[in-house]
Structure 1
């Protein structure tokens, strides 16, 4: 959740490098932030008894968080060599810096986890993902693509096999709340929740960072690459969603899952469109055929990863356009996108103040969202105009510098 480096300035013919800055990456991150805030504050299901999905649930649920994770991988690629990953001592220094940054994010996440708030805070999982991706930072594009494909295909199956064993433990190895500092006293339960049984299962989500690393190793300032990300992302996302829908609605998947005792609550048809969180997804292999948000299946990873790639490609193209016409219209998203750790944490803290309390007279959930969204945009734009990092971004940057510091060799 930090801003990215910029590419060196260079003017070349059409079809070659056409952008000197990757403001599109920050803009995509800003969109992800606003999308996650929308799912936190506005309803994703309509009123009972139909529980029809709302536009917020259909558009942002699952996709915004996945976009965050893919962008994390892209950011790591950009800060560890771009197309040519660092090697040797430079790579170890970069890994140490990423580990220190992860430590800061984890501390912030554990602190927010202690708040009484109805938000699934992603930061601890985000920090663990940073640590899990360290061995892959030195890989080049081809190896990253193979690892990403393998992880997308295999990790959901392994998770499906492991999850029942963890849930059958006494007590179940699942938190049921945001990770906080008290959970450090029960490390087995915390680790099981973070990797398999919690809201953002790190084991499958490693795929997002691998996808992001692979994208970040591409020549992102090249117009052809930007278009490739956009078109291929849309194609993969659409194909995955079509196959998942066919599996559930035509080939009998939803009927088989509805017969299971653990699928009571919201109508499964609506949950398949919005969010499968809360369902244990055991006792039927049909769960692996779903492309539902937060399903953690191969089709879900392909769909949300494809959407993320398309969004990145689109915003990189918009960044190129903004540079050509010399109007930084992306600042409304790239400003907050450059300081998402601070703004996300502030958002969670503000929402916690209204948890289990009535909203002020005249306020609605939509009004609360737009107020916070506009505040996030305003704060982000101000920091961008003054060329300042957000407070937590500054802290994470200093930690990264400390971790990657190497004393100069003495001759």
Structure 2
């Protein structure tokens, strides 16, 4: 199902819940739940990686479970976030677009992106133990914003073009900037403005050339959901999205595994990367190691390849589809699950707190020293203490999201950073929104 910007906006106008002006007014609950799942997936990827890296195929149950969880969360959580970011662009601008305030809608996105990007730059400047996504997300939001005004076929064409060519663009720019080599990534944005722009577009961990197509898919999904004017249609749409996403994600994964089985060992031997190969096949830093055709067919997380984007988009669309089928627009969660919805409505705040907690734990470990050395698939790795990584600290982080969600749900309030971003977005939209003064 496709929809023009106008028809999606008109459909959005019919979706209302009580308590206008509150945090729960006019929300699509399925999207909030999807955001919370993405948050949990992201936390799992951050907090279980070192545990999973210690698994050698032996009897260590914790390491084995961590390896399985990481296989599902790594790359998929960030891709789900990217697709949801596109959905959020539509939801955040739907009232402005419904009034025909196209310029105000674009300015509101810029205002929101400025807040997100500013927090991202501050977080990245503290050198946390994870790549910070906010600055890249903010830039991708601005780049994708004009698609909000485009018909769906244009949005789809842009998504396909960047899906097929984005990784090659990123590789070409990275080679031009850094020369040959793998794992050369610069995303702390502490260089010149020109270097920062190149990072945001192509050479960072989450470059726009491979993230914008995922936001574009999110825009299409949001339009379709808002255009489904009845509960039954929304459920059918959700099941369709689930089916399509599952097929695409599974196909990308199967093709990737077969290609890696056929090509990876020979390539690694030729390039002299045999010892590094286990790591290269687990994750990337924005691009694959080279432009070989078979790398483009792999679905290795954070490489931005054709296979990686297809797998990530497939998983994201499937998750959103399943939740839309269960919780079509206008639905309400049981009261007991209100903290999940409220936490999912505050991903900006929760992500920021999560990164700050990771930084504090990393500093504490650095001061305390120590750590158990384990031999994993990629060689020796130092296992950090419980407060830095592992299932225990993951449980505390997830519990923290629910505690914050419970507080926000009880107060019927947005997250603090969401309130700031919304206020700035409104201020950017207001000056030239003539419809507000009529």
Q: Give the shorter-chain TM-score range.
A: 0.7 to 0.9
After TM superposition, give the deviation of residue 114 of structure 1 in Å.
1.6
CA distance in 2, matches of 1:307, 1:186: 36
Query: Is 1:70 equivalent to 2:108 in the alignment?
Result: no
1:260–1:163 Cα change, 3 Å: farther
Query: Is 1:29 equivalent to 2:35 in the alignment?
Result: yes
Write out per-residue CA displacement over residues 258-277 of structure 1, whole angstroms, 9 at most, x where no aligned residue: 12547455443x643x3123
After TM superposition, give the deviation of residue 207 of structure 1 in Å.
0.7
After TM superposition, give the deviation of residue 9 of structure 1 in Å.
4.9
CA distance in 2, matches of 1:161, 1:362: 41
CA distance in 2, matches of 1:365, 1:294: 22
Unaligned runs of 5+ in 2: 1-11, 18-25, 58-62, 229-233, 369-383
How many pairs are equivalent? 386
Q: Tell me the residue number matched to 2:239.
A: 227
Q: Tell me the residue number matched to 2:147.
A: 136
3-state SS in 1 of match to 2:97: coil
Query: Is 1:286 equivalent to 2:286 in the alignment?
Result: no
Q: Name which of 294, 298, 304 aligns with 2:306.
A: 298
Write out per-residue CA displacement over residues 97-123 of structure 1, whole angstroms, 9 at most, x where no aligned residue: 100110011110011112132111100
Q: Tell me the residue number matched to 1:347.
A: 354
Q: Tell me the residue number matched to 1:178.
A: 188
After TM superposition, give the deviation of residue 198 of structure 1 in Å.
1.9
Q: Name which of 320, 337, 348 aligns with 2:344.
A: 337
Q: Tell me the residue number matched to 2:73.
A: 60
Deviates more, 1:90-99 or 1:140-149: 140-149
3-state SS in 2 of match to 1:54: helix
CA distance in 2, matches of 1:108, 1:116: 13
Write out per-residue CA displacement over residues 229-264 of structure 1, whole angstroms, 9 at most, x where no aligned residue: 111110111111111122221xx3212431254745
1:22–1:7 Cα change, 3 Å: farther
Q: Tell me the residue number matched to 1:112.
A: 123
Does the CA contact (< 8 Å) of 2:28 and 2:329 recur in 1? Answer: no
Write out per-residue CA displacement over residues 151-174 of structure 1, whole angstroms, 9 at most, x where no aligned residue: 2112223323332122229x9996
Does the CA contact (< 8 Å) of 2:15 and 2:330 recur in 1? Answer: no
CA distance in 1, matches of 2:47, 2:196: 27
Write out per-residue CA displacement over residues 350-370 of structure 1, whole angstroms, 9 at most, x where no aligned residue: 111121533898756321111
After TM superposition, give the deviation of residue 59 of structure 1 in Å.
1.0
TM-score, normalization by structure 2? 0.79
1:322–1:372 Cα change, 3 Å: farther
3-state SS in 2 of match to 1:36: helix
1:217–1:267 Cα change, 3 Å: same
Q: Tell me the residue number matched to 1:149.
A: 160
CA distance in 1, matches of 2:286, 2:90: 33
1:332–1:281 Cα change, 3 Å: same
1:215–1:223 Cα change, 3 Å: same
After TM superposition, give the deviation of residue 139 of structure 1 in Å.
1.4
Deviates more, 1:193-202 or 1:383-392: 193-202
Map 1:358-373 to 2 at 5 A. 358=365, 363=387, 365-373=390-398
Write out per-residue CA displacement over residues 1-58 of structure 1, whole angstroms, 9 at most, x where no aligned residue: xxxx895259xxxxxxxxx851010110111111111111122633277798812320
Write out per-residue CA displacement over residues 312-339 of structure 1, whole angstroms, 9 at most, x where no aligned residue: 0111222249948x72554343221111
Q: Tell me the residue number matched to 2:317.
A: 309
CA distance in 1, matches of 2:343, 2:98: 32
Does the CA contact (< 8 Å) of 1:233 and 1:307 recur in 2? Answer: yes
Does the CA contact (< 8 Å) of 2:171 and 2:291 recur in 1? Answer: no
After TM superposition, give the deviation of residue 177 of structure 1 in Å.
5.3
CA distance in 1, matches of 2:272, 2:100: 51
1:391–1:172 Cα change, 3 Å: same
Unaligned runs of 5+ in 1: 11-19
TM-score, normalization by structure 1? 0.84
Q: Tell me the residue number matched to 1:384.
A: 409
